[in-house]
Copies of this chain bind each other. A is one copy, B any other.
Amino acid sequence: MDRDQLFPLLDQFNIETPTWAYADTGTRFGKYLQPAAASTIDEKLADAGTVHRYTGCCPTVAVHVQWDFSVGVDATATASVAAKHGIRIGSINPNFFQDQVYKFGSVCNPDESVHVHAHRHMMSCIAIAKAVKSKTLSLWFPDGTNYPGQDDIVERKHRMHGALRQWHEAMPPEMKMLIEYKPFEPAFYHTDIADWGMAYIFAKDAGPNARVLVDTGHHLQGQNIEQIVALLIDEEMLGGFHFNDRKYADDDLTMGSIDPYAVFRIFHEIRNAAELHDRDVSDIAYMIDQSHNLKPKIEATIQTVATAQELYAKACLVDRKKLRDAQMATNVIDAEQCLKDAFFTDVRPMLQEWRKKKNLEPDPLAAYRASGYEAKVSAERESSRTTRGSNPSGSYA
Contact = CB atoms under 8 A, between A and B. Distances in A.
A371 interface: no
B197 A197 contact: yes
A196 B194 contact: no
A380 interface: no
A293 interface: yes
A148 B334 CA distance: 11
A221 interface: yes
Given A104-B330, A327-B110, A333-B295, A231 B198 contact: yes
A63 to B, nearest CB: 18
A330 B110 contact: yes
For this complex, into which size category does the number of interface residues on chain A fall?
A: 35 or more
A149 B339 contact: yes
A396 B333 contact: no
Contact of A332 (B294, B330, B336): B294
B248 A152 contact: no
A300 B150 CA distance: 14
Contact of A197 (B196, B327, B333): B196
27 contacts: A26-B28, A26-B186, A28-B28, A29-B397, A30-B98, A30-B397, A32-B103, A104-B294, A147-B336, A148-B258, A148-B265, A149-B268, A149-B338, A151-B327, A151-B330, A184-B247, A184-B248, A188-B247, A188-B248, A194-B223, A222-B247, A248-B249, A259-B262, A296-B333, A333-B365, A344-B346, A397-B397
